Structure 1
Amino acid sequence: MAYILNLETATKNCSVSIANGGKVLAVREIATENFSHAEKLHVFIEECLQEANLTFQNINAVAVSKGPGSYTGLRIGVSAAKGFCYALNIPLISVDTLELLAKKVTIENGIIVPMIDARRMEVYTAFFGNDYTKISETEAKVIDENSFFEVQVPMHLVGDGAIKLKSVLTDTKFNFYDEILYPSALEMCQLSFDKFKISDFEDVAYFEPFYLKDFVLNK
């Protein structure tokens, strides 16, 4: 088996888990409006290690949510993950943030559409089948009342980007899940272990988050 430290910081949810062979041993997370990642991430890591009765020397790999998402949040998570991998000489694994969000809902028919808020009427999004296979490319998409008119199957919208669009996307094919706002390190546990088993690792020196859009400084 493999002990994997999972870090999810791409959104307002600062989330950490430790798993062994894909099974969750410990998890800590908190979602705040002001982004508490810099203050909470390393505290959560230490708490998870203590709960799992492990030390850093027991960790076999670090997995990080690669984006898209918050520029600052992604930088914090990836920087921490790379630092641990360098110091411990262990592999780095990256996981698609939208896939993590899609994994939080189970459907029988239609498509899952995770949406991460990209401000105003724009979201980061992609389509996933009911088996979580990604069936469209990730994009930053501006949404209006005519969006997705070509889709003729039920659409299951999840994420903080979806919730802000409830007044715009009013067709009966749109299904909203108000309780599902952010991706979590919980869903990373099996995904990161699956990648570990096939040695699907990133280059620690050159890996960069998937920002999708250029960083814009707000004045």
Structure 2
Amino acid sequence: MVTILQLETATQVCSAALSVNGETIALKELAAQNIHAGSLTLFISEVMEKAGLAYADLDAIAVSKGPGSYTGLRIGVSTAKGLCYALDKPLIGVDTLKMMAQGFLQATADYTGLVCPMIDARRMEVFTGLYDTQLAEVLAVEAKIIDETSYQEQLSKQLITFIGDGAMKCSETILSANAAFSALNFNSAANMSSLAYAAFTAGHFEDVAYFEPYYLKDFVITQAKKKV
């Protein structure tokens, strides 16, 4: 029996889950701004208590590794690494966009199109990738500025469902009968379960000492417009 603690903090969603052999058994999450630092460890405690497990019962820690919010990713990865050090457990990094696509595909079993997860990166830019129903990359992960030409080649051939907190802002720009948009949340630690379990059974672990989030873009500090 493989028990994995899973953490997702790449967006405004703060989420912790437990899985056993790839099936989610406990989940605690909330979508709100700037809650990760104060809520993540509490959510971890809640799911552990809900499942009736001790930390020694864990076999690994999995964390959403990005792309996504710089601050959110730092909090999630730092927490995961701290637990791995303290408990002497392996660390699993899960691609955030692939996790989102997996969540959508699990919720729509008969779907035959492509899935395009989008994480809002401000203005008309998103962190995104494009996946088929087997989670194979059709287009590589990138920071993409969306305009009227985006995805038109793929949309001319098949249905694409755009998901994530960056998707709805693109619905008036990406115009096609083959374009669908979902406002549902797929940034959930529960959507890591099968991916984390597959990584564990394959022995795909991160180096706890050197693992860093996948930011995709450099972090830029902007000056406030208003003086305090």
TM-score between both structures, scaled by the size of structure 1: 0.96
Q: Which residue of 2 aligns with 1:53?
A: 52
For 2:178, the aligned partner's letter is K
Secondary structure of the residue that 2:41 maps to in structure 1? Answer: helix
CA separation of 1:108 and 1:23: change in aligned 2, threshold 3 A: closer
Q: Which residue of 2 aligns with 1:128?
A: 131
**Does structure 2 retain, via aligned residues, the 8 Å contact 1:5–1:16?**
yes
Q: Which residue of 2 aligns with 1:39?
A: 38
Q: Deviations over 1:2-22 (max 9, x none)?
A: 111000000010000011111
For 2:177, the aligned partner's letter is T
Q: How does 1:53-202 map to 2 (within 5 A)?
A: 53-105=52-104, 106=108, 108-151=111-154, 152=156, 153-178=158-183, 180-202=184-206
Q: Which residue of 2 aligns with 1:206?
A: 210
**Does structure 1 retain, via aligned residues, the 8 Å contact 2:66–2:213?**
yes
**Does structure 2 retain, via aligned residues, the 8 Å contact 1:160–1:182?**
no
- TM-superposed CA distance for 1:100, in Å, is 1.1
**Does structure 1 retain, via aligned residues, the 8 Å contact 2:103–2:186?**
no
CA separation of 1:181 and 1:27: change in aligned 2, threshold 3 A: closer
**Does structure 2 retain, via aligned residues, the 8 Å contact 1:92–1:202?**
yes
- TM-superposed CA distance for 1:110, in Å, is 2.4
Distance (whole Å) between structure 1 residues aligned to residue 138 and residue 149 of structure 2: 21
For 1:161, the aligned partner's letter is G
Distance (whole Å) between structure 1 residues aligned to residue 16 and residue 168 of structure 2: 24
**Does structure 2 retain, via aligned residues, the 8 Å contact 1:13–1:182?**
no
**Does structure 2 retain, via aligned residues, the 8 Å contact 1:13–1:29?**
yes
- TM-superposed CA distance for 1:130, in Å, is 1.6
Secondary structure of the residue that 2:118 maps to in structure 1? Answer: strand
For 1:185, the aligned partner's letter is A
Equivalenced residue count is: 217
Distance (whole Å) between structure 2 residues aligned to residue 111 and residue 76 of structure 1: 31
- TM-superposed CA distance for 1:182, in Å, is 4.2
Q: Which residue of 1 aligns with 2:12?
A: 12
TM-score between both structures, scaled by the size of structure 2: 0.92
Q: What RMSD, in angstroms, separates the aligned Cα atoms of the two structures?
A: 1.1
1:28 paired with 2:33, answer no
Secondary structure of the residue that 2:103 maps to in structure 1? Answer: coil
Unaligned regions of 5+ residues in structure 2, if any?
Answer: 224-228
For 1:207, the aligned partner's letter is F
Secondary structure of the residue that 2:117 maps to in structure 1? Answer: strand
Which structure has more helix as a fraction of its residues?
2
Give the share of equivalent positions with the same residue, in percent: 47
Secondary structure of the residue that 2:194 maps to in structure 1? Answer: helix
Secondary structure of the residue that 1:10 maps to in structure 2? Answer: coil
